[in-house]
Structure 1
Amino acid sequence: MKTKNILFVTGAFVTHHCWDEWRVYFEARGYSTLAPAWPFKDASAAELRARQPHDIDLARLTLAELVDHFAGIAKSFPEKPIIIGHSLGGLITQILLNRDLAAAAVAIHSVPPQGIIPYEFSFLKSTWGALGLFTSLDETYLMPFDTWQYAFVNEMPLDEQQKAYDLLTSPESKRVARGGLTSAAAVDFDKPHAPLLLTSGSLDNIIPAHLNNRNYERYKKNGSVLEYKEFPGRNHHVLAQAGWESDADYVLDWIKNY
C-alpha cells in the first residue's frame, strides 16, 4: 500500500507557510501532511524580518545542518513519506531521496545539486546577494523587494507581488546559500532511487527551466522512475501563484501513478 504521508520541504527566503494551501489541498484528498519550519524560522515572516540582520542562530545555520534536520523528520514517520520540496527545498528533497528516505519525491523548481554549474544569468542575478560576499556571515540576508520582484513574482500584478513579499519573505542564512556550492549539496546521480518528479516553470528567473532540465538530464537512466515537467506561465512563486492548483493536480496524479 502506498504511503499517504507527505513531508513538504521549504526553500530559502520564505517561511514554511508557503505550503499552507498545498497542505489543505492534499489533506482534502486523504493525505496527512507536515510542513515543518526550518530551525530558527518557526515564526511569521514579519517576526523574522524584525530580527534582521542580527538573528545569530539563523545566520550560523549551515546547509548540512538543514539537510540533517529534515532527514531526522523524514525518519520519524512510521514509513517512508512522499517528500515534496520547492527551490532549495527541492535540492534537500533530492538529497533525502539519495539517502533512501523517501517513498517518492517531487522537486519543484529545484536548486540543482553540486556538479551542475548554474551559469544561467537570471539565476546569478537572483542569488548573488544571498551569498553575502564581503559581508559578515553572522548577519542574515533579506532579499530586497526589487530582487523578489525579479526572482520570485515576475509578471504578477504589483499588489500581488507586495502581498506575497509581506506574507512570506524572511531573512536567510548566507551559510546555507553558500552550502549549495559545497559537498553538502551533492547527490549520486548514478544511484538507483525511488520515483522522482522534477518540475519547472517557463517564467521562473531564479531557477529557470533550462537549469531544471539540466538537473534532470544528469540523472542516469537506470530504470528508476524519473520524470520532468515544465509548466507554462509559472514563475518561482508557483506554490501560491494564481492557478497553482493545476500544478498540484499534476503532482497528485503523478503520486497516484508512480
Structure 2
Amino acid sequence: MKISNTKNIVFITGAFVSNESWNEWIPYFESKGYSSIAPPWPHKDAPAEVLRNRHPDSEIASNRLQGLIDYYVGIIGQLKVKPILIGHSIGGLLVQLLLQRGLGIAGIAIHSVPPQGLITFKWSFLKAGWGPLGFFTSTKKSYLMSFKEWQYAFTNGMSLEQQKASYYQLAIPESKLIVRDTITNVAKVDFNKPHAPLLLLSGSDDHTIPASLNYANYSKYNHSNSVTDYKEFKGRNHFVLGQPTWKENADYILDWISKVIH
C-alpha cells in the first residue's frame, strides 16, 4: 500500500535526552529532500549542560504524557500537510499515539517504549527503568541519570570516551511523572484500529527497551489492511541515534518510507 507523498518529518525526542540527539539526522534527511524539525520538549529549550545545572527542575518535573501528546498535536496542527513521524523511546510511543489520532501519514518508532499493557520482566529492563520511575521519591523533583546509570541504560558496549562525551552533550533531567504515565491509560493504543504505515525498529543490545519488547509491541497490531513492519538491528543499544551506525538505521528508514509513500 502506498500513500500520497509529503516532505515533512517531525522527529520526536525520547526521555532523558536533549532534542539535539537528532542533530545529525536532520541535515541527513534534509539532504534527501525532507523538511525536518525536532522540537524540544516543554521546559527543555536549552543546552543539556544548562538543564543539568537547573536540576532539580520543578518545571520539567511537572511534565505529563498527556501534555506532551497535546504539545505535539499543536505542532503538527501548524504544518500545512501531515508529516512523517519519527520517534525514539518515549518518542516512539508518541508516534504510535499520534498515529492513532490520524496525525501522521507514516510513523517510525525507534526502540519504542511500549503502549500500556505491554511489559517484560527481563532484568535489564527492570534495572534500567527502576530509578527513572522514582518510586518512593518526590515527583516535584526532576530525575537525572547518573553517569553510571547512563552507561548501563543508554551507552552499554561503547568506549568510555564515547560514553562520557554523549552524557555531557545530551543527558538531561526528566519528569518521573511522564515515565509513570507510560503504564497508564494515557498510553493506551487500540491495536485493532486502522492506522498509517508504521515501522518499529529495535536493537539487540538495548538494555532499556529489549528487542523482545519491541517485537511484542509489533505483534499486537492486528489490522490486516494497515502496514506494520518490524526490524531488529544487531549491536544497537538505547543510544542508537548517536551510535556510529546511526546512518545505517536512517537509510533503512528512508528506504522503507520510499516503499510506503510515493
Normalising by the smaller structure, the TM-score range is: over 0.9
Q: Which residue among 243, 251, 254 is the counterpart of 1:252?
A: 254
Q: Does 1:35 align with 2:38?
A: yes
For 1:50, the equivalent position in structure 2 comes to 53
Find the partner of 1:228 among 227, 230, 233.
230
Q: Does 1:7 align with 2:10?
A: yes
The superposition leaves residues 78-105 of structure 1 with CA deviations (integer Å, 9 ceiling, x where unpaired) of 1110000000000011000111100000
Structure 2: distance between partners of 1:104 and 1:121: 33
User: Which one is further off, 195-204 or 217-226?
Assistant: 217-226
1:114 to 107, 116, 125: 116
Aligned to 1:139: 141
5 Å matches for 1:174-189? 174-189=176-191
TM-score normalised over the length of structure 2: 0.97
Alignment of structure 1 residues 1-258 onto 2, 5 Å: 1-53=4-56, 55-258=57-260
TM-score, normalization by structure 1: 0.98
SS state of the match for residue 241, structure 2? coil
> Contact between 1:201 and 1:233, CA under 8 Å: does it hold in 2?
yes
User: C-alpha offsets along residues 166-190 of structure 1, whole Å, 9 cap, x if unaligned?
Assistant: 0000000011111011111111110
User: Residue type of the partner of 2:75?
Assistant: I
3-state DSSP of counterpart to 2:87: strand
Deviation at 1:118, TM superposition (A): 3.1
**Counterpart contact for 1:45–1:169, Cα < 8 Å:** yes
Residue 84 of structure 2 aligns with an amino acid whose one-letter code is: I
Q: Distance in 1 between matches of 2:255 and 2:177?
A: 36
> CA offsets per residue over residues 25-55 of structure 1, 9 Å max, x none?
10011100010000000111100000111x1
SS at match of 1:192: coil
Q: In the alignment, is the contact (CA less than 8 A) between 1:8 and 1:36 conserved in 2?
A: yes
CA contact (8 A) 1:120 1:211 kept: no
For 1:87, give the aligned amino acid: S
- How far residue 221 of structure 1 moved from its aligned partner, in angstroms, is 3.9
Q: Percent identity?
A: 55
Between the aligned partners of 1:37 and 1:130, the Cα distance in structure 2 is 20
Alpha-carbon distance, 1:57 to partner: 1.1
Residue deviations 1:190-241 (CA, integer Å, cap 9, x gap): 0000000000011111001001000001111421011000001111111110
8 A contact 1:80–1:103 mirrored in 2: yes
Of residues 220-229 and 194-203 in structure 1, the stretch that sits farther from structure 2 once superposed is 220-229
How far apart are residue 65 of structure 1 and its match? 0.5
SS at match of 1:84: strand
Point out where structure 2 has 5 or more consecutive residues left out of the alignment: none
Which residue identity is paired with 1:10?
Answer: T
Unaligned runs of 5+ in 1: none
**Cα distance per residue 1:95-143 (max 9 Å; x no partner):** 0011110000000000000011232221111011111111111100001
Report the RMSD for the aligned CA atoms in angstroms: 0.8
CA distance in 1, matches of 2:183, 2:245: 33
